[in-house]
């Protein structure tokens, strides 16, 4: 068992096999609709409910309060005295500050506990790939400071590009008003957005799904720019066939050590809508 526990959030959408292989702890994020709070799990959010909530007029994605994170850290502290929590980028969510507050309380309550909360500067599987890098090193017995240093390197090498038939589902969170206004300025288009270096990037508007797939592919290939890639993760929320087409287009131009297709977490499916399609990538790090 590693002496350093690696934690991330459910929106990282890491496959179950990866979570088990590296012992990564997952904190399900929170979503509230019509006053009812759900955890980002298949138990709380089965497929039928996901479809229903995708049509909800408003949703609340406010993260858990600090005491929730404190409780999670205390629970994990039963088997590890050091914890690294990889969270989504702070520009769009207050998870980082709330988890930091929870970490302070947990360290006061548990003698000898050290908790470091790290802004991944990404989200979705890109966030998951940062957590995966940390977990691999932890499984090798590397110390906390060495892992944190490697995580800082990994953050600069991950990112993603995504397309949606509409940004209306995301706009319900109230966190992408500028993007929603931009994408809504032209009718019948699919926005293509990049997420890297802790911020969003407007990559273009596509008039068809095939054109959107091409724009996502071009964006990822430009970002990689011939650099060796360790992971390509195609993410989908209900269009697996499109995900296969996107993965094929990427693989024709980029060699990755591992390429996978993942279904994003239930909350991500609700927040982004059923037409979400994207790619997260991680440029290969030098051997540690």
Q: Where in the chain is the domain with CATH 3.30.1180.10?
A: 158-283
Q: Report pLDDT digits (tens) over 111-140.
A: 999 999 999 999 999 999 999 999 999 999
Confidence (pTM): 0.91
DSSP state letter for 110 = S
Residues 6+ apart with CB under 8 A from 3: 80, 81, 82, 138, 141
In the block, residue with structure tokens 């440029």: 283
Which sign, positive or negative, has the C-alpha torsion 11, 12, 17, 21?
negative
Q: Model confidence over 189-235: pLDDT tens digits? A: 788 999 998 888 889 888 888 999 999 999 999 998 877 788 999 99
- Mention every residue, 6+ apart, whose C-beta is less than 8 A from residue 97: 90
Pinpoint the residues of the chain covered by CATH 3.40.50.10170: 4-155
32-64 b/e (C-beta count within 10 Å ≥ 16 → b): ebeeeebbbeeeebeeeebeebbeeeebebebb
The continuous run of DSSP H or E covering 232 comes out as strand 229-236
Return the closest-CA partner of residue 15 out of 182, 118, 132.
132
- Label the pairing between strands 199-206 and 190-196: antiparallel
> Is the distance from CB of 96 to CB of 19 less than 8 angstroms?
no
First to last CA, the chain: 20
Phi, psi of 200 (to 5 degrees): -95, 155
In DSSP terms, 191 is beta-bridged to 205
What's the number of CA atoms in the CB half-sphere (13 Å) around residue 77? 19
**CATH class given for the domain over 4-155:** alpha beta
Work out whether the CA dihedral 84, 26, 244, 260 comes out positive or negative.
positive
**In 3-state terms, what secondary structure has residue 258?**
strand
Quote the tokens at residue 268. Answer: 């991500």
Burial 216-241 (b: 16+ CB within 10 A, else e): bbbbbbebbeeeebbbbbbbbbbbee
How far, in Å, CA of 264 to CA of 244, rounded?
A: 15
pLDDT digit of tens for each residue in the chain (288 aa)? 458 999 999 999 999 999 999 999 999 999 999 999 999 999 999 999 999 999 898 899 999 999 999 999 999 999 999 999 999 998 888 999 999 999 999 999 999 999 999 999 999 999 999 999 999 999 999 999 999 999 999 999 999 999 987 666 666 666 555 555 554 544 457 889 999 988 888 898 888 889 999 999 999 999 988 777 889 999 999 899 999 999 999 999 988 889 999 999 999 999 988 899 999 999 876 544
Q: How far is CA 98 from CA 66, 94, 134, 167, in A?
A: 5, 6, 21, 27
Query: How many CA atoms lie within 13 Å of 41's alpha carbon, on the beta-carbon side?
Result: 8
Torsion angle (degrees, nearest 10) of CA 259, 261, 263, 268 = 60
Question: In sequence order, what are the beta bridge partners of 25?
Answer: 7
**Rounded distance, CA 268 to CA 281, Å?**
18
Residue 202 Cα to chain centre, angstroms: 18
Question: Which CATH code for domain 158-283?
Answer: 3.30.1180.10
């Amino acid at each position: 068992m590693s002496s350093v526990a690696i934690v991330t959030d459910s929106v990282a959408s890491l496959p179950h096999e990866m979570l088990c292989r590296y012992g990564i702890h997952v904190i399900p994020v929170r979503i509230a609709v019509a006053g009812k709070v759900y955890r980002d799990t298949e138990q709380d959010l089965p497929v039928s409910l996901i479809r229903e909530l995708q049509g909800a007029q408003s949703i609340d994605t406010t993260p858990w309060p600090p005491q929730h994170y404190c409780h999670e850290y205390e629970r994990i502290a039963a088997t590890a005295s050091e914890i690294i929590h990889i969270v989504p980028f702070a520009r769009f969510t207050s998870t980082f500050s709330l988890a930091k507050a929870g970490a302070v309380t947990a360290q006061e309550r548990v003698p000898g506990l050290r908790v470091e909360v790290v802004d991944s500067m990404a989200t979705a599987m890109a966030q998951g790939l940062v957590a995966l890098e940390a977990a691999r090193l932890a499984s090798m017995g590397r110390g906390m400071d060495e892992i944190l240093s490697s995580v800082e390197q990994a953050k600069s090498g991950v990112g993603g590009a995504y397309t949606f038939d509409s940004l209306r589902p995301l706009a319900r969170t109230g966190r992408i008003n500028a993007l929603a206004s931009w994408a809504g300025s032209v009718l019948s288009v699919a926005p293509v957005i990049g997420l890297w270096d802790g911020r969003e990037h407007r990559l273009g508007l596509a008039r068809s799904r095939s054109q959107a797939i091409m724009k996502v592919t071009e964006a990822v290939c430009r970002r990689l720019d011939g650099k060796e890639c360790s992971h390509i993760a195609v993410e989908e929320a209900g269009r697996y066939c499109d995900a296969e087409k996107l993965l094929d287009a990427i693989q024709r131009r980029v060699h990755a050590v591992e390429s996978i297709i993942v279904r994003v977490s239930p909350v991500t499916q609700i927040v982004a809508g059923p037409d979400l399609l994207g790619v997260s990538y991680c440029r290969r790090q030098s051997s540690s």
